[in-house]
Structure 1
Amino acid sequence: MECLRIIDNWPVPAAAAAVVRADGTVVGTHGPIRDRFPLASVTKPLVALATLVAVEEGAVELDEPAGPAGSTVRHLLAHTSGLAFDEHRTMAGPGERRIYSNAGFEVLGEHIAAATDIPFPEYVRQAVFEPLGMADSELAGSPAKDAVSTVADLVAFAAELQRPRLVARQTLTDATSVVFPDLGGVLPGYGNQRPNDWGLGFEIRAHK
């Protein structure tokens, strides 16, 4: 796994990485894989999986109202609720544009907390971290960007996405397929994308 050693040259205090095969097998790791790192927007896929668990448990439904008028849980997950990037203000109607929205994931967390009567960080712990053995992971603030975790824990999450146990295979397949196709929109750091494809909390790279 010589390619993993490239991260030793990154201009950062510490870096760690792992490679997980499509069957969930860990091929190799490198660096301090048990050090905790802030995840920034990698928080969102963790929250998306917790949301899918809530759907399968019957706590919420994808097409129930959530967020701005006309928006649903599905819209919030797919960044099509119309909420702005980092502000709780509406910039478009639901399903009109793909607006990558931290605010949308914060509204999503509030919605699930209200539906389950469980604080959302605790719900994510019970739904995702605990069953996957992610003991060093925590949602410490915004559901959009404030999780912390280790590469060792994220290996378990990556394996779950390859061979799901917490949700049905079809549920995960739907979540990683394009939702509301052909919508354009701005992707932070990459500019305007046409289309800006997305699943239910999971980015679809497509041509990007």
Structure 2
Amino acid sequence: MQSLRLIENWPVPTAAAVLVRGADGAVLGAHGPQDHAFPLASVTKPLTAYAALVAVEEGVFELDDPAGPEGSTIRHLLAHTSGLAYDEQRPMAVPGDRRLYSNAGFEVLAEALAKASGIPFAQYLTEAVFQPLGMASTRLDTTHRTPAGAGGVSTAADLARFAAELQAPRLLDPSTLATATRQVAFPGVSGVLPGFGHRRPNDWGLGFEIRDGKQPHWTGQHSSPETFGHFGQSGTFLWVDPAAGVACVALTDRDFGPWAAELWPVLTDAVLAELGSAQP
């Protein structure tokens, strides 16, 4: 994939990208050091969410079990509608009323999972997600201020395995994944999309942002509304475009900023255009 070479022009010390096909999980292209470990920042959240969804299927807890502030549930925490503040466990709104993006909410989620399962969250995440998918170079930095929300460390090669799982799940029932990635949780709720401003509505699934019609956006102008994923403050992203049948991961070691808001959509549109031109 020649389009992935665009990362060579990004103003970052190190970058790696990989494109994964949905039908069979095949790597269609890769560029940059695939085994270099990058801090994921908020790209950790989809991993944490996946562990929570595994826990739901295992009967550890249920999506509508109480967790967090009064009136909040596991579902609210996953969808950033618990009402908790961004970086502290302080209620700012009634659960379900606003999409308040919250690292603190993911820490409460991890605490709830650990309490219900009797297993430390980092261990549960490793055993439920990383090990089954062969993500041997991925870990949770438990010394991070918000490990479950932003403390992941991984490689492009490992996240390619997770990207394949998101398109053809083996660890979850497909209906569970569809609920998390294709159904808007608490439709119509507005809120701030970090780095891009207020959105009405600010659609989100369970641990995954759903693109819908948001403009501007960190994916491409030609990304389908069904595109879902997450980006991180450390200059990282993972998106899945079901309409195109592919997922893309890009990892860098420069914090998100105007450079990323400008260049990430260019890469995405170039990838989608190259895929389109390759179709028979």
TM bracket, shorter-chain basis: over 0.9
Separation in 1, partners of 2:171, 2:210: 21
Q: Which residue of 2 aligns with 1:100?
A: 101
CA shift, 1:47, in A, is 0.5
Which amino acid counterpart does residue 148 of structure 1 have in structure 2?
V
- Structure 1 residues 30-179: aligned runs within 5 Å: 30-141=31-142, 142-176=147-181, 177-179=183-185
Write the distance in 2 (CA, Å) between the matches of 1:108 and 1:2.
Answer: 40
- SS of 2:192's equivalent in the other structure is strand
Please report the RMSD computed on the Cα atoms of aligned residues, expressed in angstroms. 0.7
Q: Distance in 1 between matches of 2:40 and 2:175?
A: 27
Cα distance between partner residues in 1 of 2:111 and 2:6: 40
Counterpart residue number, 1:7? 7
Residues of 2 paired with 1:166 and 1:95: CA distance? 28
Q: CA deviation at 1:22?
A: 2.1
Q: Secondary structure at the match of 1:105?
A: helix
Q: Given the two structures, how large is their TM-score scaled by the length of structure 2?
A: 0.73
Distance in 2 (CA, whole Å) between partners of 1:196 and 1:25 is 32
Q: 1:30 Cα shift?
A: 0.8
Distance in 2 of aligned mates of 1:134 and 1:77: 23
Higher strand share: 2
* 2:211 equivalent in structure 1: 205
Is 2:203 the partner of 1:182? no
TM-score by length of 1: 0.98
| Cα distance, 1:97 vs structure 2 | 0.5
Structure 2 distance, partners of 1:22, 1:121, is: 28
Deviations 1:1-21 (A, max 9, x none): 111111111111111000012
Alignment correspondent of 1:27: 28
Distance 1:201 1:159 in 2: 17
Aligned equivalents of 1:21, 1:154: Cα separation in 2 = 13
Aligned residue pair count: 208
Query: What is residue 237 of structure 2 aligned with on the other side?
Result: none
Query: Which amino acid in structure 2 is aligned with residue 19 of structure 1?
Result: L
Counterpart residue type for residue 43 of structure 2: V
Q: Tell me which amino acid in the other structure corresponds to 1:34.
A: D
User: Which amino acid is 2:163 matched to?
Assistant: A
What whole-Å deviation, never above 9, does each CA across 1:139-169 have from its counterpart, x for those lacking one? 1131000000000000000000000000000
| Counterpart Cα distance in 2 of 1:116 and 1:139 | 18
Render the CA deviation track for 1:175-195: whole Å, top value 9, x for unaligned: 112110000011211111000
Identity %: 65
Equivalent-residue separation in structure 2 for 1:38 and 1:188 (angstroms): 18
Partners of 1:85 and 1:193 in 2: how far apart? 17
Shift in Å at residue 25 of structure 1?
1.9
Tell me, what secondary structure is at the counterpart of 2:18? Answer: strand
- Aligned AA for 1:189? G
